[in-house]
Structure 1
């Protein structure tokens, strides 16, 4: 048996404050893709999403000791890495001799420091499907040699060995669909309250990589070149989600779902031929949108878009290499309002060249737009990004505790700003946006079930305490 683990992390660790379940839980599709590849290879696989299951380390290890696996794989982001490492160290003590592999964004961003912790035998950077499959054949079946496995780091007797080559998959259509059938309870996964209309709602990724150069974004895992699953592949997976799992809504999680408009049209033309209909949401960029495309999307069931704006100052946008203009954002927001597509704008406070004036401009810009929702996080330079490399040139940066790299804690403070000022402005952002009668009415309109009402109430209480605490 091979065990793939998404380690436990509390909502307080992930979001910088205890928010319970209102932030939702997204299915960690990465390890479900790995599981699908191993199943295709004829292996026995178990996936344990300890975060969604609220399974603390001790309980997880007890479960594994009852039926020890032959190999353990752990995925981790930077904010979760302390937990991933402590879990690996506990597994080493309790299950000596079982190889432990680390993968995910943090390993890709900081491979050598990760391997030098001594907690892991192997590490896989970038995409893991091919490397993990070959590593399993090596460790369990004695096939191949480690030096020939791409993307594979090794650690033994204090010596860390990097891979001979690092590569991306050329044809992602060869990857099987995520092995969702291994999840015993798919109801564990749902977006945050207000981010879905109908249940069951399931998430889907239809491409890998992003061609844009945003300095704050870590694209090392999938690269700066977008590789698309074909329209036919996407439609087959959607048919499985609808037919096998009863999905009534789909959340497309691609960074730029609308990038290839020809493929977008083909996907929904094929779905129309199959008479498959569902409501859906996606992430996109303002510069990828035009009225005709948005109308097509609305006609095909799109009811909500999530758009990265980041700042209301054009010089700041240019500095962070966002590649959009304020005018493009205004147009996209106006078109969405006309088409009755709800829109969430994502903003950040504390860019490298932010000043009190540019932050205020960002707040005023957000208030001028007909967005349904906003998310205003704290700029957090993540390892592996240009933002991280330039952080100390433009301000102070404290990375002593990686659990603070959660986008809500000011670990980076630009010159001329203070931690307290950034938190005050974040609170003002939320308070001024949401404490408007029209916006409050739109929030009430999202409540479509008793469960949604409970979550909305919790969200309101948390929001009020958040505003009051930082006011």
Structure 2
């Protein structure tokens, strides 16, 4: 079974194309693990590309302002391939009763388990029918002219059960940029309820992956994709301070803070010195939060009761002092917002140029699932059953903002007035970005200057090392030359002469050693014979002597002397024929004037110079 995936977006929009649809990567990773789909699940940018692959079933995701594109994709796929089309995402999850006929099934809310179950049913039955769909939780399907909603599926718990997103789906489309600047989620949901945001309704409650899971995924991104920068795309990364501190510490323990730079979203009323210090230790270099307005009345309307203008300013000051780059977003066009409130916001932004590096200003828009949408429906500004080509009017990209299709909430301003203010805020946003660009350029200039200095030092070190290497090389050359001369001399006959001389000398040493050994044996035999005679005949010619010597065995011509040796004959303590030795280790040359000793035969005594005792 081949499963195709497509996201309904404006493929020419830089904003919409910045990051790939990670929701699809979660679906693919889950299906690969639990359905063993392998590479049979794939992603394509356009319906035409998907048709060329001829999948058996297709999944489409879409937000509200791109829902018209999702409908167009589904119609093309149905017409070309006649296959089931499953739709998911925020828009259909909030408005399932209005599911168009081009979709067979809608996945509502969290989709991993639901999508995998639908694929399993289709692989088994080769079709999706009311009979095999009625027991699937968390879907909407069509039965004749009616849309049937099944009971909600329980949320996945724990989130660690979900495999890492299959990001390899997108490598062909996002390429190098995708690897250098990636995004990930560590949580689902937000504890706050801003009236313009539908996150709380979609996720129901806030859940976090475990700190170990988060660290393991970061390590996976570093090892697999060599990621350098990571956008932690949670609605509020610091929502649970205990979890945040533990996760930050584990990131540091793993050394990932030295390899990855992070960006995350915060909320002004949760920002303090301790939080900012921990963010910096984790190597977060930039944060973003919705300041929304410079007027407390507007903030209260938007659901930002805890984040007043004063709180927002304090958060900016603390983060800036901690060395964090700050990005802020703002919304203009609230119903009670007149020109004084707009100028409050303008002045707030203007006073923080230099502290806030990026400013994004959006018009207030109504999206399904929000309180603003319900208010807009009540005022007749929008409808739940809008036509296919009406949904794109909800787009809020400032670069493509169209005042003609914009649904203005503010009764205090005309469209022309609002457009002028919107352009004024865009100029202020551009000024803030230009100031940031200049600061960035200055930092880069300083960095390049430091780099140039390091290069100069490296060059000096390299030159010194080169000089040392050249000196060592010359010394080696000299040694090689000397060896060559020596070899040349050997080749001229010196080597053979040297070998002959060494051999002759060695032979002499061998003969000398043999003579020494013979002489020592002769002495030992003589000592033994003399001792026996001395014991037989007693003391002669002197006290404590055996033969003509004091205190010596066979002592001749000296006290404690034995026979014929330096320190032995005419000396003390010797034993015979050796210098300070007990085994006659001096050659006969030293004893007998250079003549070798004559062999002694049985019954013959060697000549002895007798000296009269004193």
Q: TM-score range by the shorter chain?
A: 0.7 to 0.9
Deviation by residue 1:421-457 (Cα, 9 ceiling, x = unmatched): 2221121113235437744523645879xxxxxxxxx
Match of 2:152 in 1: 165
In structure 1, what is the equivalent of residue 42 of structure 2?
47
Which residue of the other structure, out of 414, 417, 428, is the alignment partner of 1:418?
414
Question: Who wins on radius of gyration, i.e. which is larger?
Answer: 2
Matches within 5 A, 1:88-107: 88-96=74-82, 98-107=83-92
Between the aligned partners of 2:77 and 2:265, the Cα distance in structure 1 is 37
Q: CA RMSD in A?
A: 2.5
Deviations, residues 148-172 of structure 1 (Å, cap 9, x unaligned): 2111111143231111334422321
What is residue 236 of structure 1 aligned with on the other side? 216
* CA offset digits 1:57-116 (Å, max 9, x no partner): 33442x13xxx22211101111111111011011111111x11100001111211112xx
**Alpha-carbon contact 1:344-1:372 (below 8 Å) kept:** yes
**2:277 is aligned with 1:291:** no
- Deviations for 1:161-205, whole angstroms, at most 9, x for unmatched residues? 1113344223211111101123333744858xxxxxxx7121010
Paired residues in the alignment total: 421
Structural mapping, 1:16-415, within 5 Å: 21=14, 25-41=18-34, 42-44=36-38, 45-50=40-45, 55=46, 57-61=47-51, 63-64=52-53, 68-96=54-82, 98-114=83-99, 117-142=100-125, 145-185=132-172, 187-188=174-175, 190=177, 200-219=180-199, 222-277=202-257, 278-323=260-305, 324-369=307-352, 370-391=355-376, 396-397=381-382, 401-407=390-396, 408-409=401-402, 410-415=406-411
> In the alignment, which residue of structure 1 is the partner of 2:578?
none
Structure 1 residue 331: deviation in Å? 0.8
Deviates more, 1:164-173 or 1:390-399: 390-399
Query: Partner of 1:321: helix, strand, or coil?
Result: coil
C-alpha contact (below 8 Å) 2:4/2:44 kept by paired residues: no
Residues of 2 paired with 1:138 and 1:396: CA distance? Answer: 41
Per the alignment, do residues 353 and 131 of structure 1 end up closer, same or farther by CA in structure 2, a change over 3 Å counting? same
When structure 1 is superposed on structure 2, of 387-396 and 354-363 the one drifting more is 387-396
Residue 393 of structure 1: how far off its partner (Å): 5.3
Contact 1:152 1:162 in 2 (8 A): yes
Query: What's the CA shift string for 1:336-359, capped at 9, x where partnerless?
Result: 221221111100110132222211
Tell me which of the two structures has the higher relative contact order, counting C-alpha pairs closer than 8 angstroms and 6 or more residues apart: 1
Q: Which has the higher helix share?
A: 2
Kindly indicate whether the alpha-carbon contact (under 8 Å) linking 1:126 and 1:221 is maintained by their aligned counterparts in 2. Answer: no
TM-score (norm 2): 0.65
Instruction: Note the alpha carbon deviations across 1:340-387, whole angstroms, 9 max, x for none.
Output: 211111001101322222112111111122211100011101011111
Q: Is the alpha carbon distance of 1:109 and 1:189 closer, same or farther for their aligned partners in structure 2, counting shifts above 3 Å?
A: farther
Residues 312 and 362, structure 1, Cα contact 8 Å, conserved in 2: yes
Three-state SS of the structure 1 residue aligned to 2:203 is coil
Q: Which runs of 5+ in 2 are unaligned?
A: 446-614
Uncovered stretches (5+) of structure 1, i.e. residues with no partner: 12-19, 192-198, 449-471
Cα 1:307/1:224, change in 2 over 3 Å? same
Q: Secondary structure at the match of 1:293?
A: helix
Whether the aligned pair in 1 keeps the contact of 2:89 and 2:108 (CA below 8 Å) is yes
Distance (whole Å) between structure 2 residues aligned to residue 300 and residue 212 of structure 1:
25
